[in-house]
Structure 1
Amino acid sequence: MPISITRSLIIILLVALTTFATRVIPFLLFPKGKEIPKIIQYLGKVLTPAIIGMLVVYCLRGTQVFSGSHGVPELIAVALTALLHLWKRNNLLSIGAGTICYMFLVQVVF
């Protein structure tokens, strides 16, 4: 079902305003020179690894270890991603290479 141009423009405007607000609010709540609360500093340190861990669990939740390829492509791709990240410390490189490796293994090898 196509939507009207007016509705499309309203949606685009709301998405743009929401995105802008999420970028501006931290600067309004914590202006330069004001100390950032300890809980926010703590969350800034622990949330990124926690979210990455949750994404790994989410991605691997459907792996069939007792049938098919027995999770070998997933294991190889995760190992490559981890090793590349430990070696280069580059998120884009490690995630991209792991994804390409997994897709190659699933489409060509297994």
Structure 2
Amino acid sequence: MTYVIAQPCVDLKDRACVEECPVDCIYEGRRSLYIHPDECVDCGACEPVCPVEAIFYEDDTPAEWQGFYQANVEFFDELGSPGGASKLGVIEHDHPLVAALPPQNREG
């Protein structure tokens, strides 16, 4: 089991979770953040600091965002397990699920 970053993060990328993660397993794509499922230690530190409630324990991901579990896993298919996000910076692509979304309007 692992944590999942879902649609509320798309085009926002607040990064509070990145600062809180003790194992540096939250990677930044072009439009969203992604949790590496093999590097995450399931500590849960990221979940409460997310200002838009985009992070869920895998089994608690709302039905409408279930596809984001697979997106978080498959984002790393080519990347592998670099062993830390901070040394990579922004990865200039996103999972196709995220890339296909229309721009997320954040204005209220």
Of Structure 1 and Structure 2, the greater strand share is in 2
Quick one: higher RCO (CA 8 Å, sep 6+), 1 or 2?
2
**Structure with larger Rg:** 1
Of Structure 1 and Structure 2, the greater helix share is in 1
